[in-house]
Amino acid sequence: MMDASEEIAVQKSYFDCRGIPVSYPDTKAIEGLERAIEMSLSFRGDAIAEIDTVLAEHPDFIMGWLFKAGWLTQSMETRIYGLMVEALDQAEKRLSTANDREIGHYEAVKAWVNGDFYGAVQKWEAVLFKYPMDLLAMELVHYTDVLLGDIAGQRDVVARASTLWDESVPGYEFVLGFYAFGLEENRDFSHAEELARQALAIRPDHPYAVHAVAHVMEMRGRQLGGVRFMNDRASQWGTSNFANHLWWHTALYHLDIEQYDRVYEIFDTHLDSRQKDGNKYEELDAAALLWRINLVGQGSGDRWKHLADKWEPAAQDTLYAFNDVHAMMTFVSDNRAEAQDKLLSANERYLEKASDANVAMSREIGMPFCLAMRDFKNEDYGACVDRLLPVRYMTHRLGGSFAQRDIIGWTLLEAALRAGRFDLALALANERTALKPTSAQNWRAVARAFKGLGDASNADRATAKAQSLIHV
């Protein structure tokens, strides 16, 4: 018979550090899971390697398998799919010992594997209703909502538990980071920045909180402040697994105020993926920045070639429309007609037969943007405009953030200018200057539209405004 101290130890082993029940009664295993979760939240270390080490010693730890499967959902890469399914299968073999929280995680990943991304979110949300301190479930819902472009969901997954968290609960800084980004995407910029900076006060090397501030400054056109903020903290976030994306944000500030030398320097030093392992998130950022560089009339040298080489093996994945459009960027920019045809044909076949959550993303935004980019590269700018204009207010369905999806609106504007549709171009450029009047690029577009309309006086005014915003 156990004495009182032994009974307390057993009881404690069934809960994580936030009081969430865990069916596997081993403290070391639960602590190992917590280390892996923190690695995923802080973008440091290798969370999968960490949980693999735990599972090697504790193969019946179902929550370890569910963490692995759940975290792998966020990769959105075909090469990861087998590992995710294998981890889920291992969890399924141990369902008889699982508690209700673990069964909820299992059902969520099962829905994901079946292509029902929205159903997966609902399953994770059901876990959170009962266990609002389940930081893993909150993380997976928030990140999935970002992937799906569910703007309200990114915010509200945290809002539903906001009165329950404070600094006494481990991981509070990560909850603040999620909430800050969700608020920013819903244009509550002041509150977003406040919470992100609060998260940074708790954990100064928190990349996702840096990310939320970076988005606020991007959306509000605070380019110089953004450059200073990012540079002041680069020694901390620059060593994280999220550094590539944060350098992309830094480059956007420089691009907006025409500091092209600095944009190229950031690309070549931090975004060039020739020496990297093929992580799609890194290649997304590189392609997105190069396309923007070309939109403003700057050259790209041979940079497209190696990016297209990286994307070509994934040309027929049809796993995630957001990936497909970035692959298409590289194919059209490097004049790879065969790769373009493969991507488009694979998507056409996919749209005919599939019924998963990515179908709508591909049909409504992915394919139109892919075709529009091909039109743009072929200098059929009118066709590009005609494809993008009807979907310009639907782009959130592609996933990602406002800052990322802005590439579609920017492409539409540039195509309108090059097509000679100056009345439309002026309207689109005016929209952009209203949202971000500190952007030299936006005022350049206004000037070009006025010039095309024969209004030299207003064109000169807009050019002068653009010049006043350039900081050498």
Q: Is the pLDDT of residue 226 over 70?
A: yes
Q: What is the dihedral of CA 229, 234, 235, 236, to 10 degrees?
A: 80
pLDDT band at 6 (very low <50, low <70, confident <90, very high): very low
The average confidence (pLDDT) of the chain is 94
Residue type, 208: Y
**Comparing 14-128 with 150-257, is the CATH topology the same?**
yes
Among residues 207, 249, 261, 288, the alpha carbon closest in space to that of 45 is found at: 207
What tokens were used for 225?
């402040």
Return the pLDDT at 78. 83
Each residue's pLDDT tens digit, 75-99:
988 888 999 999 999 999 999 999 9
User: 373 and 360 in contact (C-beta within 8 Å)?
Assistant: no
CATH number at 150-257: 1.25.40.10
420-472 under CATH 1.25.40.10, yes or no? yes
Q: What pLDDT shows up at residue 12?
A: 45
Map residue 15 onto helix, strand or coil.
strand
Coil, strand or helix: which one is 21?
strand
At 467, which helix (H) or strand (E)?
helix 456-468
User: For 188-206, how does the pLDDT look when each residue is reduced to its tens digit (9 = 90+)?
Assistant: 999 999 999 999 999 999 9
Does domain 14-128 sit in CATH 3.10.450? Answer: no
Tell me the per-residue pLDDT of 367-401, one tens digit each, with 9 for 90 and over: 999 999 999 999 999 999 999 999 999 999 999 99
Would you call 415 exposed, middle or buried from its count of C-beta atoms within 10 A (0-12, 13-18, 19+)?
buried
Domains of the chain, by residue range, sit at 14-128, 150-257, 272-289+296-371+381-412, 420-472
Q: Which helix (H) or strand (E) holds 180?
A: helix 172-185
Contact 306, 278 (CB under 8 A): no
| Alpha helices (H) along 395-455 | 402-418, 422-435, 440-452
> Whose structure tokens read 């494809």?
387
The pLDDT score that the predictor gives to residue 4 is 47
Predicted model pTM:
0.94
pLDDT tens, residue by residue, 263-307: 999 999 999 877 666 556 678 999 999 999 999 999 999 999 999
Are 410 and 155 in contact by the 8 Å Cβ rule? The answer is no
Please report how many Cα atoms fall inside a 13 Å half-sphere around the Cα of residue 421, on the Cβ side.
19
* Average confidence (pLDDT) over 299-323: 91
